[in-house]
A and B are shown apart, each in its own frame.
Chain A
């Protein structure tokens, strides 16, 4: 059953829609605030660059973002309005580093037609009122009182119905707006109005200007002393005020964004649809405008927002490509550009299509997206988890332990790699050819298994075996000293650091030795009541060679204990609970916080914070990493220490923003790992896995890895073919010459290098609409099928298209067959060895036929009419699920005997679909254009035909994102024997560049998490006082309904970000321990 679904973001939206600059976090600090659809990011300007401070989730899609300075305030406030007609005013409290809600409200009207050109929200430069244009013919005013408090809002009738832009004018004694609008003859004009607050009405303003550029779309208000407004068109830019009018022609372009450079408003940056950045200068004399000048500066990503920051550095926010930090140079570079890109910020949006592939064939999905638009189009390979890049590997069976050693204490690199087996120890070392070869350390006992090895002070090495501890010179490699286990006892477990050795023998004896120059001294001995299972004395205090604490894991009572060193006094004892013994303990420090990690034999990991002064253990948490015993080891990457947990599900444990994170390592099973930092393989790891010893480097430590393949053109469809190891994409290139504006292509890419190896150009006006890799019955070949449409300017809907069938031969696309269709081929599916196409309002099934001459052709078999436009089709068995342009989801069935397709059931709601997917035989998932998700179920048991013919809506949820594609699959390695491995997941990609996962949960887990979600709503409040319940409620033009059968995984997983106190508050409400809650939530985070 896929009724109960959990929706979570794997990759947050990255499309930058708004940005602004001001003193938000302190009167002295300059901030850049960036809106990414449902999130805002607060950055601080520093000498080193932009420093991200906070990522703030907003319970709404941001329609307006403005900083303003109310009278008498030393800092700016932030005004945010959302598309669902909520707004809030936020203030930063620098003492607590919290966002305070100064005001919020609902600005919706019961009656009103939402504006076609988006919502407008503006603030009077003198802070007398906030103006909103949300519905045609209405201008909403939220007045400020003289103390800066907001008062009740009211509407004013606005005569202009087709408003393109509204801005406040500077320097007016009464608040004055300038309105750019289109009249019913499609001519564009500007008009000014004074807002009479007392009368709640408009008064004709000081000036107006008729008959502007037909492409005029943007107003830029000019601050004092010049005042007035710039009207930006496609062919002209005009400066207009009560007493001046200046115009300049520009090269035809659509200006998408502007940024003011100077406080006096004399210079502006303009970004156009092609990513060209211009500087617009208002020349003036004695505060009188004398003219306009415009110059091309260079190229950037296509900007959706431009913010001048400081010292010639500018932020370019983009919806179509990566956002950028650029510098404006006084001198042009070799290409004549004044723009230098300093930094770029990844943006996957818009994700138009994607596919899930397992390129490395490791059982882990990677998402390859068609991202970006126009010249900023790209493919992005998104992979979860940390990869190991293999440098060298040898076959070695039965490795029981590994340690790296240096040849002298101050050598920066490791020389030896000690590999222990059940009855011997082998030593590998790098030779002069930088190859690993076997060597000897004479002082070591190589006839037995090594329990532990470590570098020691004074150029010494320590080897612990079951019978003794050997101290060896690292230079002469000779034995210097040896401590023998008492007769009748053998050492079971041991650990050491540069100056200390701690070991345990049978019978619960704990022995502590200290290392001197050529000496091994038994300092202390203690007898514990049970056998010891694991030990650690990793120094995490001030002295990096000496630990004052020892961690000891115990059999029988299943506890972990902290002892003081050198006294071996018991400080803390923590019962672990359950019956599984601890197999590995590790003291470690992340971001200045000390932790004790304790791994159990069943793949669970406990972590505690350690108080270094009194050894106390607090903040116990538990996670499940795998099902097999775990071995813990620290390693360094880029000067930061992380922990590697070797097990059936290898994991890297690291810390980010003071929170422990667990990231999968993209390897199947790792028995042992040790860092091996040699001159030839710097910063590498030695990994023992599946009878193999591998040396490799590790990826950057982060959860998601994104590889960008810039295309310079817009990819719209992608598909992978396992057999030819290729991708095929449909893409379009915008020609620079105006007459033939676009050309569409099918391109074949190598799936490893992602380089284009073959191209098939489509006809003029022919668009690639769908692509599929499939095979047909009675034919062993695998083909790429492409569906196209001829998009003619004079047609409302295409009336002609083609289905093209290609085979990949010698790395080339060879056209095998083609078939003309009576419309656009919006979707292609492999169906019962045949080809199922969605063509305009029809579903059409084609057979793959062998002609007498041996060639192949596509032949029509049957079809089904009755859609407005059948845009999205998914199939399962004989069932066909269709997502219609405006008639929601319908279910069709193919009847073999009759060779016919019939409608079985449909959802009678009027949903405008953007994607569909089949969750199981009876449950289908849909996304629609009001940013909602919903599920419908087939009602096979219905009593009447009418009931059976109706798809019942069983789940509804407001995602707040426009979904372009669903695909079955997973971003993480799935272990069939784990609980999480049983959960079915669907991945989705959105216009804002978000990647999310929808997981179908068992009912009991859903009920549990639903309760957790409602408890979390009480503890985690919506920024700006916005309600989570309202945000997630299903909402379209007709109705709003509470979310059902979907849970917000982003809220649920934020449990892990809470302070201990707040976690306990939630735990009380749930009647479940914090440990259990965090374990269950942590498991969910491993779904993505």
Chain B
């Protein structure tokens, strides 16, 4: 039963851990990695990738969105006559109210 459940465990590279022998449990691993000290310029992010949250309040954003929607259907109606689009908006607006 268990053998079946534990069978065929994934192997990405059969070499990984192939030469690892269990160490003395009273003797923990002691290898210490180098501590990274970045001094290069690419530690700073690209200027357009410094992310902030939009300042607009959710309520204000929704007012604007609804105002836009009120204007939009005149044009949208001709371009996208699919009813699906129309029915989604009111439902979205009910989530916050």
A263 touches B17 (CB 8 A): no
The complex places the Cα of A295 from the Cα of B4 at a distance, in Å, of 12
- Asked if A142 contacts B51 (CB within 8 A), the reply is yes
Q: Which residues of B contact A151 (CB under 8 A)?
A: 51
Is A1057 a contact partner of B37 (Cβ separation < 8 A)?
Answer: yes
CB pair A45 B17 closer than 8 Å: yes
The interface on chain B, measured as residues whose beta carbon lies within 8 A of the other chain's beta carbons, has a size of 56
Query: Are A657 and B23 touching (Cβ within 8 A)?
Result: no
Q: Are A344 and B10 within 8 A (Cβ)?
A: no
The reply to whether B38 and A102 contact each other, CB–CB distance below 8 Å, is no
Does residue A807 face the partner (Cβ distance < 8 Å to B)?
A: no
A484 to B22, CA, bound (A): 59
On whether the beta carbons of B54 and A154 are closer than 8 Å, the reply is yes
- With known contacts A152-B54, A159-B95, A345-B28, A328–B9 Cβ distance under 8 A: yes
Q: How far is the CA of A279 from the CA of B3 in the complex (A)?
A: 12
- In the complex, B11 has a CB within 8 A of chain A: yes
CB atoms of B15 and A47 under 8 A apart: yes
For residue A309, CB closer than 8 A to chain B, the reply is: yes
Q: What is the bound-complex CA distance between A267 and B51, given in angstroms?
A: 37
Q: Tell me whether B71 is interfacial, beta carbon within 8 Å.
A: no
Q: How close is B53's CB to chain A, nearest CB, in angstroms?
A: 4
A52-60, A842-850, A879-887: which one contacts chain B?
A52-60
Tell me whether B20 is interfacial, beta carbon within 8 Å. yes
- Selected contact of B65 from candidates A98, A157, A199, CB within 8 Å: A199
Mark contacts of B48-70 with chain A using CB atoms, 8 A cut-off: 1 yes-contact digit, 0 otherwise: 11111110001001000100000
- Decide: B5 and A295 in contact? CB cutoff 8 A: yes
Interface residue A156 (Cβ < 8 Å from any Cβ of B): yes
- Interface range for A: 35 or more
B49-A30 in contact (CB<8A): no
A107 touches B53 (CB 8 A): yes
Task: Report B-chain residues with C-beta under 8 Å of the C-beta of A254.
Answer: none
Chain B residues, CB < 8 A from A200? 61, 65
In the complex, what distance in Å separates the CA atom of A846 from the CA atom of B22?
55
Given A154-B54, A295-B5, A309-B16, A656:B32 Cβ within 8 A? yes
Task: Assess the A281–B51 pair: CB atoms within 8 A.
Answer: no
As a 0/1 sequence over residues 197 to 211 of chain A, the CB contacts with chain B under 8 angstroms (1 = contact) are 001111110000000
Across the interface, do A340 and B42 meet the contact criterion of CB distance under 8 Å? Answer: no
Min Cβ gap A189→B in Å is 17
For residue B21, give the distance in angstroms from its CB to the closest CB of chain A.
Answer: 8
Chain A residue contacts of B3, Cβ below 8 A: 330-331
| A344 B6 Cβ-Cβ under 8 A | no
User: A311-355 toward B: CB 8 Å interface, digit per residue (1/0)?
Assistant: 111000000001000011111100000101111111000000000
In A1013-1061, the 8 Å CB interface with B consists of 1019-1025, 1054, 1057-1059
CB distance from A363 to the nearest CB of B (A): 27
The answer to whether B22 and A343 touch across the interface, beta carbons within 8 angstroms, is yes
**Does residue A580 face the partner (Cβ distance < 8 Å to B)?**
no
A153 at interface, CB cutoff 8 A = yes
- A755 close to chain B: CB less than 8 A: no
Residues from chain B with a CB closer than 8 A to the CB of A327 are: 17, 22
Binding site of B, secondary structure by majority: helix, strand, loop or mixed? Answer: loop
Q: How many residue-residue contacts, CB under 8 A, span A and B?
A: 228
Assuming the contacts A55-B36, A56-B36, A330-B3, asked whether A30 and B12 have C-beta atoms less than 8 A apart, the reply is yes
Which residues of the other chain, A, contact B79 by a CB distance below 8 angstroms? none
Q: How far is the CB of A991 from chain B (nearest CB, A)?
A: 20
Q: How far apart sit A107 and B52, CA to CA, in the bound complex (Å)? A: 6
**Is the Cβ of A155 less than 8 Å from the Cβ of B29?**
no
Q: Closest residue of chain A to B17, judged by CB? A: A313
A1021 to B37, CA, bound (A): 7
Residues of B within 8 A of A1024 (CB): 43, 45
A102, A108, A157: the one contacting B45 at CB < 8 Å is A102
> B54 contacts A153, CB within 8 Å?
yes
Residues of B within 8 A of A1023 (CB): 36, 38, 43
Point out the residues of chain B lying under 8 angstroms from A338, CB to CB: 2, 6
Q: In the bound complex, do residue B36 and residue A1058 qualify as a contact, i.e. CB atoms below 8 Å apart?
A: no
Q: Given that A107-B51, A311-B16, A1019-B39 are contacting pairs, would A322 and B96 also be in contact in the complex, using a CB cutoff of 8 Å?
A: no
Choose one: B11, B29, B53, B58; the contact of A152 (CB below 8 Å). B53
CB-based contact B23/A342 at 8 Å: yes
Q: How many Å from the CB of A92 to the closest CB on chain B?
A: 11
Contact with B along A513-556 (1 / 0, CB 8 A): 00000000000000000000000000000000000000000000
- Beyond A102-B49, A157-B95, 5 extra complex contacts between A and B, CB < 8 Å: A153-B51, A204-B91, A313-B17, A330-B3, A344-B28
Interface residues of A (CB under 8 A from B): 30, 41-43, 45-49, 51-57, 87-89, 93, 96, 98-109, 140, 142, 149-157, 159, 196, 199-204, 261-263, 267, 279, 281, 293, 295, 297, 308-313, 322, 327-332, 338, 340-346, 656-657, 700, 702, 706, 708, 1019-1025, 1054, 1057-1059, 1062
